[in-house]
């Protein structure tokens, strides 16, 4: 993916999301109702998981982030530690985001796959007033302008879901140094083909970690 390329989208032609309560708000990493499980720890949102991945060498910071009740608060709690992000963060963050989306799909298969497929083949754009990297910003001529990296990752995931959904039922850990949660290496994450979202909610849970959900 060429992350530096600026794209322009016609607002009328796209599926866009900004607020999580909107029709396509579930595409946002901030959306509630899409919990995931990593190493038995239940985590409220893909945003919290993404932020925790900044700090594999700081498990206590991961714990602070994942202990927050809302994804925005989890993001805000990470800010004082940003200068301690893993040293290769800028180079791996898109890969980490892609992995987080895969985990979100696995643990919310019916709900998230149906939402993605309902977008058809239209461009998916995160409509943002201030972030032209992960999203695209509205312009006066009824266009959206930006790199839209998150939207493009979602479109890539949609194509793979259309072509070979069963191949998305598992995701390998990223081949990067210290890909860990609470000092434990993150393993392959996979669910049986017949697993539904209700059973996913209780899969491999460590009761002591209920606070993360």
Residue 211 scores a pLDDT above 80: no
Q: Rounded to an integer, what distance in angstroms lies between the CA atom of residue 109 and that of residue 103? A: 10
Q: With H, G, I as helix, E, B as strand and everything else as coil, classify residue 182.
A: coil
- As a residue count, the chain comes to 213
29 confidence band (pLDDT: 50, 70, 90):
very high
191 confidence band (pLDDT: 50, 70, 90):
confident
Which domains are seen in the chain, by residue range? 7-212 (1.10.357.40)
Write the DSSP symbol of residue 122: S
Please write the tens of the pLDDT for every residue from 122-174: 999 999 999 999 999 999 999 999 999 999 999 999 999 999 999 999 999 99
Strands 15-17 and 124-126: parallel
Residue 79 corresponds to which tokens in the numbers above? 């800010």
Residue 205 scores a pLDDT above 60: no
Residue 204's pLDDT is what? Answer: 44
Q: Rounded to an integer, what distance in angstroms lies between the CA atom of residue 164 and that of residue 149? A: 22
Residue 156's pLDDT is what? Answer: 98
Average pLDDT along the chain: 92
Of 18-22, 100-104, 119-123, 209-213, give the lowest mean pLDDT range: 209-213
Residue range 24-39: mean pLDDT, rounded = 97
Residue 129's pLDDT is what? Answer: 94
Q: Which long-range contacts does 94-98 make (Cβ < 8 Å, 24+ apart)? A: 94/1, 94/3, 94/149, 94/153, 95/174, 95/176, 96/50, 96/53, 96/174, 97/29, 97/50, 97/149, 97/150, 97/153, 98/153, 98/156, 98/157
Residue 44 scores a pLDDT above 50: yes
Residue 210 scores a pLDDT above 90: no
Main-chain phi, psi angles of 194, to 5 degrees: -95, 10
Residue 194's pLDDT is what? Answer: 60
Q: Which of 5, 32, 8, 50 is nearest to 145 (CA)?
A: 8
């Amino acid at each position: 993916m060429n992350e530096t390329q600026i794209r322009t989208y016609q607002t009328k032609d796209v599926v866009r999301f900004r607020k999580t309560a909107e029709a396509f708000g579930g595409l946002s990493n901030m959306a509630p109702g899409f919990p995931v499980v990593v190493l038995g720890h239940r985590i409220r949102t893909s945003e919290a998981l993404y932020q925790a991945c900044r700090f594999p060498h700081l498990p206590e910071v991961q714990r602070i982030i994942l202990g927050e009740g809302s994804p925005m608060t989890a993001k805000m709690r990470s800010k004082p530690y940003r200068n301690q992000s893993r040293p290769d963060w800028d180079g791996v963050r898109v890969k980490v985001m892609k992995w987080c989306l895969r985990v979100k799909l696995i643990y919310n298969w019916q709900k998230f796959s149906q939402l993605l497929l309902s977008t058809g083949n239209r461009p998916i754009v995160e409509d943002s007033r201030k972030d032209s990297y992960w999203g695209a910003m509205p312009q006066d001529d009824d266009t959206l302008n930006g790199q839209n990296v998150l939207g493009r990752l979602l479109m890539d995931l949609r194509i793979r879901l259309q072509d070979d959904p069963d191949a998305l039922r598992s995701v390998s850990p990223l081949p990067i140094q210290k890909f860990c949660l609470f000092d434990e290496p993150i393993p392959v994450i996979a669910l049986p083909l017949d697993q539904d979202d209700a059973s996913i909610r209780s899969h491999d849970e460590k009761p002591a970690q209920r606070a993360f959900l």
